[in-house]
Structure 1
Amino acid sequence: MPLPLLAYKPLSQNQRVNGFEVAGDEQPRIFSTDSLLSSVELDFLIAAAYRQIYNEQQMLENHRQVTLESQLRSGQITVRGFIRGLALSDSFRRLTFDCNNNYRFAEICIQRILGRNVYSDREKIAWSIVIATKGIQAFVDELLNSEEYLNNFGDSIVPYQRRRILPQRTKGEITFAHMPRYGADYRDRLPKQVYKGDWGAAKLDYVLWEWQKNPPAIVGKIGAGITYAGAGFIGLLILAVLLGL
């Protein structure tokens, strides 16, 4: 039986407070199908959706979801349906879910789908339980069907990072699209994963890196032997020169 969503307090973060800033570069541009006039503007909307969900580090040609794009252009799905398809795509799963734990994955999805940071660790724990008990699809559906998402983006607006401006600061927060797609625990495991791969340049690089960090004892002995032999050879040359004089 699936567990109910763990209760957490919606703290008064920046995006929950009405702002009075003058419009500028720090304010996000809103892309919506309610005001599209041409196919070029629809291209910009699709690119904004990729940038928001896939992160700028993943915006590659082979990650495009051509079928979803065609359905959106023909009106078969809404922007919310397009966002759902991107979040459930194989590319997003491999590059975001497979290289993170459930806590980090929940945080990333809240940032990219709801357009804000998590309120607390309790919220991450609550949504990680949903991922573990109901699966990724149910988790994404609950975010997209939440009152928060519908009130801010509805069916026609591409999600964006809300209210980046902070009081008494000249610059806003860093955009979620520029944050790394995996956590420090996965990053620290990368060298070991390279080592487990096939023999080749990547594995050779790892072996050299390990030797530089922790050289085997035999290497030290060989190096010492070469050093002593070289010193002895140079000494003999100097002696021969002196005898020749």
Structure 2
Amino acid sequence: MTIPILNYTFSTQNQRVDGFEICPGDEQPKIYTTNNLPTATEMDEIIWAVYRQIFSEHQILTNTVDPFLESQLRFNQIKVKDFIKGLLLSSSFRQLNFDGNNNYRFVELCVQRILGRDVYNEREKYAFSIVVASEGLEKFIDFLLESQEYIENFGESTVPYQRRRIIPQRIKGEMPFNLKTPRTARGFLNKGNMSQLHWSGIIRQFRPQEKAPKAGDPALFLTMANEIF
């Protein structure tokens, strides 16, 4: 049986308040969209913007690139939202973000990268975590991509971006979401079943080359003696 999503209240975040900017500036992110029939160069920029938003610059690797989805987008066979969904459901995204985090941290990352904002509060984080736990990863991704919030802000053809990202950065000293390293949550590292994260081998001390013992050094004789006995 599907567990109903929890109710939660909206907090007054920066992206929910209308701005007073007269001219475009640093406070307004660059919009990447296919609505205006982009050129080949502009399409390259759009594809790069998608990778940068969904994987962040820290995760754009050879195995995260999907040439097949890129080709479909270039020939207008799919929309930007379809391209994004394909990346979110890829094994690379799952391995880098879902497998290495608990549901709470994964929900936080997805809301930041897909909806372009931070979670409103802990209750919203718990509500989305229930969706992940009860209905699975794909249903949760669909839940965000088909939400009214996503449709109103990005639609089918616009790459998600952090809405009004600069003002919170100045106030809190935070960097944009897509530049944050998606580290594993501290609470997940404390799990007892994460033995693979603990090194059980021999820990060797690094010695710079200029400090290595030279011929005639007593340390070499001691090492040889220990090997004999």
What TM-score results when the alignment is normalised by the length of structure 2? 0.80
1:147 corresponds to which residue?
A: 148
Shift of 1:133: 0.3
1: CA distance, partners of 2:88 / 2:20: 32
**2:31 is paired with a residue of what secondary structure?**
coil
1:94 corresponds to which residue?
A: 95
2:78 corresponds to which residue?
A: 77
Equivalent residue pairs, number: 202
What amino acid sits opposite 1:90 in the alignment?
S
Q: Could you say which structure has the greater relative contact order, defined with CA pairs below 8 angstroms and 6 or more residues apart?
A: 2
Shift of 1:42: 0.5
Q: In 2, are the aligned partners of 1:164 and 1:173 still within 8 Å (CA)?
A: no
What TM-score results when the alignment is normalised by the length of structure 1? 0.75
Shift of 1:35: 1.7
- How big is the alpha-carbon RMSD for the aligned residues of Structure 1 and Structure 2? 2.5
1: CA distance, partners of 2:169 / 2:68: 45
1:231 corresponds to which residue?
A: none
Q: In 2, are the aligned partners of 1:111 and 1:161 still within 8 Å (CA)?
A: yes
Q: In 1, are the aligned partners of 2:2 and 2:134 still within 8 Å (CA)?
A: yes
Q: Return 5+ residue gaps in structure 1 as ranges.
A: 197-202, 210-225, 227-245
**2:47 is paired with a residue of what secondary structure?**
helix
**Aligned in 2, Cα 1:63/1:169: closer, same or farther, shift over 3 Å?**
closer
- Map of 1:113-124 to 2, 5 A cutoff? 113-124=114-125
What amino acid sits opposite 1:16 in the alignment?
R
- Map of 1:6-85 to 2, 5 A cutoff? 6-21=6-21, 22-85=23-86
Shift of 1:120: 0.3
Q: In 2, are the aligned partners of 1:36 and 1:42 still within 8 Å (CA)?
A: no
1: CA distance, partners of 2:111 / 2:130: 14
Shift of 1:62: 2.4
**2:58 is paired with a residue of what secondary structure?**
helix
Q: In 1, are the aligned partners of 2:26 and 2:166 still within 8 Å (CA)?
A: no
1: CA distance, partners of 2:90 / 2:168: 37
**Aligned in 2, Cα 1:27/1:4: closer, same or farther, shift over 3 Å?**
same
1: CA distance, partners of 2:169 / 2:55: 31
**Aligned in 2, Cα 1:208/1:26: closer, same or farther, shift over 3 Å?**
farther
Q: Return 5+ residue gaps in structure 2 as ranges.
A: 206-221, 223-229
Q: Decide which structure has the larger Cα Rg and report it.
A: 1
2: CA distance, partners of 1:191 / 1:59: 28
**2:105 is paired with a residue of what secondary structure?**
helix
What amino acid sits opposite 2:52 in the alignment?
R
- Which one has a larger percent helix, Structure 1 or Structure 2? 1
